[in-house]
Amino acid sequence: MAISINAQTEHVKFMGIPLNGTITQFQQKLQAKGIEHDQEGSRELGPGSRLFKGTFAGEKAEIYINYDANTKIVYRGKAVVRCLSLSIANQLYENLRINLENKYDRFEPIKRTSSDGYSIMNLGIPGSNGDLIGEVDIWVSKNEYSYSFPYTVYIDYWDFYNNEKHESSINDDL
């Protein structure tokens, strides 16, 4: 019984903060770390997403937090780092990949190449009992609309439990 309770209450951490609780609570914790809320960018994203700006893993980044628009519970965090060149993007990708593999060394990453030839890695995040509680995806892509920062590195964290509740909420609308 303790294992099933643990599986339901343990959550993936993004920037050291569990992907759980309301967006307001999560935002307060991000702001305590010096991350700034981008109100205009958040309005453009619409319900269920908020945009922040700050530092992620030592890099200037846009930070996107997704939450269920009805319950306000957070389920996903993504950092987006714009890069001047493909070599810089690949170096950042490789550094992040190595650090993630070292942090979550109990599971083999799934590596693949996207249709445009850029690297993608998916890594399951284990909970304290060894079961997967989430996933982190990291990839590089080219931004066709930006000349100053044409390459982007994405690192995307998903909490399985809260994402499942979010998906269930969406299905209730159908």
Q: Is the Cβ–Cβ distance between 79 and 69 less than 8 Å? A: no
Tokens of 147: 């000349």
Tokens of 71: 């319950």
Count of the separate structural domains present in the chain = 1
69-78: burial string, b at 16+ Cβ within 10 Å, e else = eeeebbbbbb
Domain with 146, as residue range(s), is: 2-173
Please tell me the predicted confidence (pLDDT) of residue 129: 85
Model confidence over 72-103: pLDDT tens digits? 999 999 999 999 998 999 999 999 988 988 88
Q: What is the pLDDT of the chain when averaged over all its residues?
A: 87
Please tell me the predicted confidence (pLDDT) of residue 108: 58
